[in-house]
Amino acid sequence: MDMTQATKDHYDNFYSKGGWSYSNWREKRFLKSKIVKPLKLQKGSRLLELGCGMGYQSNLFYELGFDVVGVDLSESGIAYAKSHFSGPRYFNIDATELSAHFDYESFDIIYIRGMSWYHYELNGVNKLGVDVPERTEELFRFLRPKGVFVLQIVTDFSGSQPEGKVHNNRFDEYVRLFERFGEVFYISDWKGRVLRNQAEAEKVGKHIIIATRKK
Ligand SMILES: C[S@@+](CC[C@H](N)C(=O)[O-])C[C@H]1O[C@@H](n2cnc3c(N)ncnc32)[C@H](O)[C@@H]1O
């Protein structure tokens, strides 16, 4: 079975059993204080969430005033999002299929939280068979000039690649991936502590929020 199908099956199963349960107010406070405010994201901006799962964060961005499109591979994730959160528009597609649905330079913000492409090797074709730099370059084409790409993902920054688990990519590996597409202007951990280098990241590390402004 190909890895994309395996990912889809995994999340279809997970979401049909209930998926994650989020505290709405806590998540909203998180998005406001750790993403929207420090990155100065403007209300009314057109935001594409890739790997939106059951739509929780897409809906919260919508409630915060953004014009939101949510995309996910999982049929059950998107079915849940559509039936519970009517504000955003949703597409049950693979992130490699965006060009069939959207124009280049049609989003102000791309937000990705925990999507598997960014959990493994970042400098070429990863263990899922995804060429991460090439795919990321394609994603940046959907941003308008000066648009912002935000990735939020788990890592302890150690560089470890534990068997059967997601990798812990290092600070510099994330910076190297994104700096070719624009200005990496903000990096923090999940508590909003700004991280300037590997040493700071390793000290607190659990989670990276990295934002890049398209050239
Ligand atoms: C760890 S979950 C995160 C879900 C959501 N962002 C959240 O934080 O609750 C990763 C999500 O990415 C989606 N995903 C993985 N690969 C994808 C792809 N190639 N295209 C679209 N969605 C994908 C999965 O279906 C899954 O819903």
Domain parsing of the chain, residue ranges: 3-15+23-214
Does ligand 1 come within 6 angstroms of the Cβ of 143? no
Give the pLDDT of residue 2. Answer: 83
Hey, which bits of the chain come out as E strands?
Answer: 46-50, 67-71, 89-91, 107-113, 143-154, 182-188, 207-214
Mean pLDDT of the chain: 96
Return d(Cα 215, Cα 194) in angstroms, integer. Answer: 22
> Which residues make beta-bridge pairs with 71?
50, 91
Neighbours of 96 (CB within 10 A): 14
Give the pLDDT of residue 71. Answer: 98
CA of 14 to the centre of ligand 1 (A): 11
- Of the pLDDT bands very low, low, confident and very high (cuts 50, 70, 90), residue 162 is very high
Looking at domain 3-15+23-214, does it have CATH number 3.40.50.150?
yes
Give the pLDDT of residue 25. Answer: 96
pLDDT tens for each residue of 116-160: 999 999 999 999 999 999 999 999 999 999 999 999 999 999 999
Return d(Cα 200, Cα 198) in angstroms, integer. Answer: 6
Give the pLDDT of residue 1. Answer: 61
pTM of structure: 0.97
Give the pLDDT of residue 13. Answer: 96
User: To test the ligand 1 pocket, which listed residue (59, 73, 119, 151) has its Cβ within 8 A of the most ligand atoms?
Assistant: 73
Does ligand 1 come within 6 angstroms of the Cβ of 78? no
Give the pLDDT of residue 121. Answer: 96
pLDDT tens for each residue of 81-121: 999 999 999 999 999 999 999 999 999 999 999 999 999 99
Mean pLDDT of 31-43: 98
Share of the chain above pLDDT 70, in %: 100
Share of the chain above pLDDT 90, in %: 96
- 127 vs 4, 44, 186, 212, CA distance in Å? 11, 37, 28, 25
pLDDT tens for each residue of 62-73: 999 999 999 999
